[in-house]
Amino acid sequence: MHDLKSETRRFRDWATGLAARDGQWECVYEGWSAWYEAVLAWLAGCPERTASAEDVDRVLYAIARDNDARYLARELRKRYPDALPWLTRIALVHGETDARWQLAVELGQLTRNDEVETLLLALAGDEDEYVRRRAVRSLAALGVPAAEALACGEWHRVDDNQQWARMSALECLRALKSPRLAALLDDALQDVRPHLRQFAQRLREHDGGTAEVG
């Protein structure tokens, strides 16, 4: 049985020794299977009330580092769905961005209830644009009416990633069958940014179809 503390330390030691880190630097780590086993074993045996702050931090750190494969976040939701909300509550306070957006995605796969909705609304107010984007998309997927105003708010928010935020807003409004979609789709088709314009064109051409933004 692999130990959470030792496997997390093993990864940290490896990461400290890296000469350079590109956008997917974590993927080349060779000890992922042992770390996965340690995290999932801890989740299986450690209920919320007995979890130490240090171990919770290790789990959230592992989820954040697994942001490319997203295996841990998915397995958390599939195997231990009851743990997902309480880990999210902690991540809202001191979890990394790369943990928060993954948790937002997985919350959107749960059955809609007051707790899930409240957590997603909190994530939709995150300081990070990508966390907000994924939270609003999860709210829209769950059919939460507040997602409409949040998506429109992201459309008008000035941000370095606004082009991608606007594509996501269109997708959310489409999922909600919002009457506000038509006007924003017209605006997007006239936008000078090519990716946004092309995305809007695909939405129009494939009504009910396949366009999707990250």
List pLDDT tens digits, range 120-146.
999 999 999 999 999 999 999 999 999
pLDDT of 211 higher than 70: no
In this structure, is residue 161 part of a structural domain?
Answer: yes
Position 159 scores a pLDDT of: 83
Banded model confidence at residue 20, pLDDT cuts 50, 70, 90: confident
Query: In terms of domains, do 43 and 63 share one?
Result: yes
Q: Which domain holds residue 204?
A: 152-214
Would you list the DSSP string of 152-196? HHHHHS--TTHHHHHHHHHHHHHHTT-TTHHHHHHHHHT-S-HHH
Query: In terms of domains, do 137 and 76 share one?
Result: yes
Banded model confidence at residue 24, pLDDT cuts 50, 70, 90: confident
Query: In terms of domains, do 123 and 180 share one?
Result: no
List pLDDT tens digits, range 72-122.
999 999 999 999 999 999 999 998 999 999 999 999 999 999 999 999 999
Position 10 scores a pLDDT of: 97
In this structure, is residue 1 part of a structural domain?
Answer: no
Instruction: Determine contact, residues 31/11, Cβ cutoff 8 Å.
Output: yes
Average pLDDT over residues 60-77: 97
pLDDT of 213 higher than 60: no
Query: In terms of domains, do 82 and 109 share one?
Result: yes
Rg (CA), the chain: 19
Banded model confidence at residue 61, pLDDT cuts 50, 70, 90: very high
Query: In terms of domains, do 184 and 103 share one?
Result: no
List pLDDT tens digits, range 153-209.
999 998 888 999 999 999 999 999 999 999 999 999 999 999 999 999 999 887 644
Alpha-carbon distance 162 to 168, whole Å?
10
Q: What predicted TM-score, i.e. pTM, was given to this entire model?
A: 0.92
In this structure, is residue 4 part of a structural domain?
Answer: no
Q: How many domains does the chain have?
A: 2
Position 2 scores a pLDDT of: 82
In this structure, is residue 192 part of a structural domain?
Answer: yes
Query: In terms of domains, do 105 and 129 share one?
Result: yes
